[in-house]
Amino acid sequence: MNRMATVNVFKPKARLSNSNLLFLIAAVIFVLMYLVAIVSFPNSFLQFQTFFDFFNLNAPLMIMTLGLCIVMIGGGIDISVGAVCGLVTMACAVFLESEMGSVGGSILVALGIGLAFGLLHGFLIAYLEIQPFIITLSGLFLAQGLLTTLHKDPINVTMPAFVGLRDFNIVITWLGRENRLGVFIPCEIKLGTIVVVVLLVILASLMKWSRFGRNVYAVGGNSHSAMLLGINVKRTIFITYVLSGLTAGIAGFVYIMTTGAGNVGNAAGAEMKAIASAIIGGTLLNGGVGNLLGAPIGTLILLIINEMIRAAGVQSNFQAMVSGLLLYFFIVLQSVIMSLRDRKSIGVALPPWLRLLGRKQTEDQSKA
**DSSP for 306-335, written as a single string:** HHHHHHTT--THHHHHHHHHHHHHHHHHHH
Within 10 A of 338 (CB to CB), how many other CB atoms are there?
A: 16
pLDDT score, position 355: 52
Whether pTM > 0.85 for this model: the answer is yes
Within 10 A of 186 (CB to CB), how many other CB atoms are there?
A: 14
The single-letter code of the amino acid at 62 is M
CA dihedral 245, 86, 48, 26 (to 10 degrees): 50
Q: Which residues pair with 53 in a beta bridge?
A: none
pLDDT score, position 362: 53
Cβ atoms of 139 and 117 closer than 8 Å: yes
Residue 149: alpha-carbon gap to chain centroid = 29
Residue 294: alpha-carbon gap to chain centroid = 8
Q: Which residues pair with 190 in a beta bridge?
A: 169
Give the architecture (CATH level 2) of 18-176+186-341.
Answer: Orthogonal Bundle (1.10)
Which stretch of DSSP H or E encloses residue 256? helix 233-259
Give the span between the Cα atoms of 233 and 224, in whole angstroms.
Answer: 9
Cβ atoms of 334 and 284 closer than 8 Å: yes
pLDDT score, position 7: 45
pLDDT score, position 279: 93
Angle in degrees, CA 150, 151, 156, rounded to 5? 125
pLDDT score, position 349: 46
Give the span between the Cα atoms of 316 and 153, in whole angstroms.
Answer: 26
Q: Which residues of the chain have pLDDT under 70?
A: 1-15, 315-316, 343-368
Among positive and negative, which fits the CA dihedral 82, 86, 89, 92?
negative
Cβ atoms of 182 and 199 closer than 8 Å: no
Long-range pairs for 127-131: beta carbons < 8 A, 24 or more residues apart = 127/234, 127/238
User: 294-311 and 270-280 helices cross at what angle (nearest 10)?
Assistant: 110
Within 10 A of 297 (CB to CB), how many other CB atoms are there?
A: 24
Output the CA–CA distances (angstroms, integers) from residue 251 to 98, 134, 199, 242, 256, in the order listed: 22, 23, 11, 14, 9
pLDDT score, position 320: 79
Give the span between the Cα atoms of 105 and 93, in whole angstroms.
Answer: 11
For 42, list phi and psi in degrees, rounded to 5.
Answer: -65, -30
